[in-house]
Amino acid sequence: QTFKIAAIPGDGIGVDITQAAIRVLDTLAHVNGTFSFEYTNFDWSSKAYLERGWYMPPDWEEQLKKHDAIYFGAVGWPSVPDHISLWQMILPIRQRCNQYVNVRPTRILKGTHPPLAQLQGKPSDLDWVIVRENSEGEYAGQGGTTHGHEANAVATELAIFTRVGIERIMRFAFETAKLRPRKKLTMVTKSNAQRHGMVLWDTVFYEVAKEYDGVVEYDKMLVDAMTVRMVNKPESMDTIVATNLHADILSDLAAALAGSIGIAPSSNLDPTRSCPSMFEPIHGSAPDIAGKGIANPVGAFWSAAEMVRWLGKGQLDEVADKFMVAIENVTGQPETRTKDMGGSANTEQVTEAVCKEIEKV
Ligand code: NAI
Ligand code: MG
């Protein structure tokens, strides 16, 4: 079986880690022998935009939809305003490809020295899956500006919440929680201050929750209090569902608590499988370390493992699990950790080590 992958390396370290992920994926396929990958490389980046004036061509949607999955590096560069790069690439892809769920697992990988462990608790306390609403909410893109950015400027940023959108993300979150060891779901809003959309979130949450009574334990948090609970009581949570903006912020916090933003993966899923889903590490293009060959590729590898799991529809779970073991065998060794994990290895050395481990496990 050959999986067609649309590879979009993008900018900065996105290029390094995509290259590394492809190499590791090919090793995995080669060792396994029952499947392979065929890539189409899309040169859609800020660098290309600066040269030709566009990120994606008019038929981008048609081109992407010819693939089984999309592997994405990162987009964004200092010479292009971030709202342009985000709205020319990643947000339209998520919206037009029906990727209404963004799944962000976080746990403490072997060999990482997270700030949390220095505070209290044991590494296994932090084991979460953040389910982010990925199609509407605060990133719906509606709003406007009048009077330009002059003295009397007025700008609106409209958050959009639909019952359909809320209900489908709640169902996905409950189904995720049901399969997890702790079988717990925490729903996050800010429904005390934001009294319309957030209250609808609460309402739909409790409606859907009725179907899971006795199966999933559930509770509700306000987003500000949630940040405190994540630091102080990590063991009290498992699956977390939140809006586009809230989950975006909470998942960066989760990654930092688990050790580094360079480790964390994300899957943009179309659960109906009518469009290709997209897999990417949660970090950005990291201009401060770009071009140095020192980016941590672990988040990219973990995202690749999630892609294999998704593509396999249950048939490749064992392959993905072994892939994760190989990654942790590498993070477990001090000499194959990058700087953000307290080591001094470069991207190439970590990649090489993971390939060798894949051949072993
Ligand atoms: P960032 O994630 O690129 O970097 C934040 C910090 O973490 C930097 O100090 C960076 O060196 C470090 N870091 C990130 N990934 C790392 C890795 N794999 N290994 C080692 N260190 C790593 O976030 P920042 O600086 O806010 O954004 C830079 C650009 O990336 C901006 O243009 C932003 O819009 C874009 N961005 C794009 C995203 C995407 O494509 N999905 C997500 C987040 C940011
Ligand atoms: Mg983010």
Pocket of ligand 1 (CB under 6 A): 13, 74-77, 82, 90, 261-262, 280, 283-289, 295-296, 299, 338, 340
Spacing, Cα 233 to ligand 2 middle (Å):
23
Residue 124: pLDDT band (50, 70, 90) is confident
Which amino acid does the sequence have at 176? Answer: T
Cα–Cα distance for residue pair 274/257, rounded to 1 Å: 35
- Spatial contact of 279 and 361, defined as CB atoms under 8 Å apart: no
Cα–Cα distance for residue pair 156/143, rounded to 1 Å: 5
Helix, strand and coil in the chain, % to nearest 5:
45, 20, 35
Spacing, Cα 288 to ligand 1 middle (Å):
9
Altogether, the residues listed in the chain come to a count of 361
Segment 47-95, tens digit of pLDDT: 999 999 999 999 999 999 999 999 999 999 999 999 999 899 999 999 9
Is 80 exceeded by the pLDDT of residue 1?
yes
The bound ligand whose nearest atom lies closest to the alpha carbon of 104 is: 2
pLDDT value of position 118: 54
* ipTM greater than 0.90: yes
- Spatial contact of 297 and 337, defined as CB atoms under 8 Å apart: no
Segment 298-341, tens digit of pLDDT: 999 999 999 999 999 999 999 999 999 999 999 999 999 999 99
Tokens standing for residue 4: 């067609």
Which amino acid does the sequence have at 72? Answer: F
Residues lining ion ligand 2 (Cβ < 5 A) are 248
Tokens standing for residue 96: 């037009």
Tell me how many degrees the CA angle 155-195-222 measures, rounded to the nearest 5. 105
The residues, ordered by sequence, that sit 6+ positions from 313 with a Cβ below 8 Å of its Cβ are none
The residues, ordered by sequence, that sit 6+ positions from 333 with a Cβ below 8 Å of its Cβ are 111, 353
Spacing, Cα 249 to ligand 2 middle (Å):
6
CA-nearest of 357, 350, 277, 354 to 309 is: 277
Segment 183-192, tens digit of pLDDT: 999 999 999 9
Cα–Cα distance for residue pair 151/65, rounded to 1 Å: 45
N- to C-terminal Cα separation, the chain:
22
pLDDT value of position 116: 60
Please tell me whether residue 346 adopts helix, strand or coil conformation.
coil
Nearest atom (ligand 1) to Cα of 82: 34
Spacing, Cα 181 to ligand 1 middle (Å):
31
CA-nearest of 190, 193, 137 to 162 is: 137
Residue 150: pLDDT band (50, 70, 90) is confident
Nearest residue by C-alpha to atom 12 in ligand 1:
286
**pLDDT > 90 fraction of the chain, expressed in percent and rounded:** 89
Cα–Cα distance for residue pair 173/247, rounded to 1 Å: 13
User: Which residue matches tokens 């990643």?
Assistant: 90
CA-nearest of 65, 89, 92 to 9 is: 89
CA-nearest of 225, 234, 233 to 188 is: 225
CA-nearest of 341, 295, 352 to 9 is: 295
Q: Looking at 65-69, 116-120, 144-148, which range is the least confident one? A: 116-120
Nearest atom (ligand 1) to Cα of 288: 11
Can you spell out the DSSP letters for 46-92? HHHHHHHS-SS-TTHHHHHTTSSEEEEEE---TTS-HHHHIIIIIHH
Structural domains of the chain, ranges and CATH numbers in brackets: 1-107+261-361 (3.40.718.10), 114-258 (3.40.718.10)
